[in-house]
Amino acid sequence: MAVVVPESRARDKLKTYPIRWVVAHEPIDLSIRVARNFKEEMDRRLPGVLDIEILTLDQYAELYGEPGKLYTKRDLIPLMKENKVHISQIYSTTIGRLVTSSEEALLPATSKKETSNKFSDYWALDLPYLWRDHNHVKAVLEGDIGHSLLNGIKGMCVKPMAWCYSGGYRNIVGELGGEVRTFESTPIMKDTIEALGCKPVDGYGNYTLPNKEATYSQLKYQGEDSGTVQQTNHSLMLSSIVISKEFWRYIIKCECDFHVHTKEEELTCLRKQMKWACEAAAETERKELIAEEDEIKKLFTNHELPSNDLKKQTEWVYEKYEHKFSQGLLRDIKNTQVMDRNLNEGVRATPAGMDQSAVNRRPKKVARV
């Protein structure tokens, strides 16, 4: 049944609201495709309702930034907090850092030592060799665990909407041993590099080091088309599509002006449509990245390493950090079973909390009155 969206105050409010999706994370070209997929999906679901401007960080700085200010990806969260940027992708590692910091900041000084012994569950996703394969990743992130992580963040300036791969598996580019450049480092990620026999060095400002941690997609974005890659595949680079909380509140206010002539009103509200559009965009990114990674690999000299040996080398990382996450989280991730063996071919899992019949009834077209 078609969704009927009147030409109303809600439409006028949203069309005059400058919705900016700013792409700030590598690989840029893939992130831009995610944004475009979201825009196309929303235009299909609710044509004429949202006017979305897709910008790189440099384009944002030129059009809307403070004169003379050099913007980096670290400015993205403050920009979203100020509601100058409304939608973007953020690494799960970054979200985990924000959650860990914000939770500690809310506690009295006497409790900070105790709090420092806990990490955001987002950081658990960076543990080495957590994932069996792409099927396992999809089953976890699109199931109850991923749904719980997305909805479990409170008191932050952004609202996570969907999971993205954003780069694929991390490897060591160059040689194992010695210093290795890392980005978005956390204690877990640093210890993982050490467990692999290397010394982690903050990548920001250390671009001359020959060895680095990177994904194949990152290498493509950085213009590299040769070299040696040690295929450690030690962790997966993940991100979330996020919406600024201020913009989300504005959407809620506007929803009261949308009148839906269907018995399944919960399937047609703007927030639901935006979430489904985020999921669809993320699904497209996942399939493209898996296919793209296989092609990029052909450009490099790839050294396959014995995964069982690497897993044994990194076991102490689990022993060190397992107690810092919600009880049973790692066990539940490892025990998640893949019910559909065709996940890599793009069969969508049913969103948590919905039955498949509800998914099949999602409206495909929107009619105006």
Distance of CA 58 to the CA centre of its chain: 21
Lookup: tokens for 221: 């974005």
Residue 90 to residues 13, 25, 162, 351, Cα–Cα distance (Å): 27, 7, 11, 21
Lookup: tokens for 280: 């669809």
**Angstrom distance (rounded) from CA 257 to CA 266:** 15
Residue 137 to residues 10, 113, 128, 333, 344, Cα–Cα distance (Å): 38, 33, 13, 9, 10
Cβ atoms of residues 182 and 189 within 8 Å: yes
Residue 333 to residues 17, 125, 139, 328, Cα–Cα distance (Å): 40, 9, 9, 9
Name the amino acid, one letter, at 247.
Answer: F
The pLDDT score that the predictor gives to residue 14 is: 64
Lookup: tokens for 67: 């004169």
Rg (CA), the chain: 21
Residue 205 to residues 1, 182, 224, Cα–Cα distance (Å): 55, 11, 19
Instruction: Residue count of the chain, please give it.
Output: 369
Residue 192's domain is classified under what CATH number? 3.40.190.170
DSSP assignment of 298-323 equals: TTSEEEE--HHHHHHHTHHHHHHHGG
Phi, psi (rounded to 5 degrees) for 161:
-115, -35
Distance of CA 131 to the CA centre of its chain: 16
Q: Specify the number of domains making up the chain.
A: 1
According to DSSP, the residues that pair with 87 across neighbouring strands are 21, 243
Closest CA to 141 of 114, 161, 169: 161
- CA neighbours closer than 13 Å in the CB half-sphere of residue 220: 19
The pLDDT score that the predictor gives to residue 207 is: 67
Cβ atoms of residues 178 and 295 within 8 Å: no
Full domain range(s) for residue 35: 3-368
pLDDT in tens, the chain (369 residues): 334 444 455 566 666 567 899 998 877 888 898 999 999 988 888 787 788 999 999 999 999 999 999 998 889 999 999 999 999 999 888 888 887 765 544 333 443 444 456 788 999 999 999 999 989 999 999 999 999 999 887 778 899 999 987 678 999 999 998 899 987 678 999 999 999 999 999 876 666 778 999 999 888 888 888 899 999 999 999 999 999 999 988 888 777 655 444 444 544 577 888 888 999 999 888 888 888 888 899 999 999 999 899 999 999 999 999 999 999 999 999 999 887 555 444 433 333 333 333 333 333 333 222
Q: What letter does residue 241 receive in the DSSP assignment? A: E
Give residues with Cβ within 8 angstroms of 330, minimum separation 6.
Answer: 124, 127, 130, 318, 322
Name the amino acid, one letter, at 186.
Answer: T
pTM of the model as a whole: 0.80
Phi, psi (rounded to 5 degrees) for 162:
-160, 160
**Angstrom distance (rounded) from CA 319 to CA 162:** 30
**Angstrom distance (rounded) from CA 76 to CA 69:** 13
The pLDDT score that the predictor gives to residue 290 is: 85
The pLDDT score that the predictor gives to residue 127 is: 96
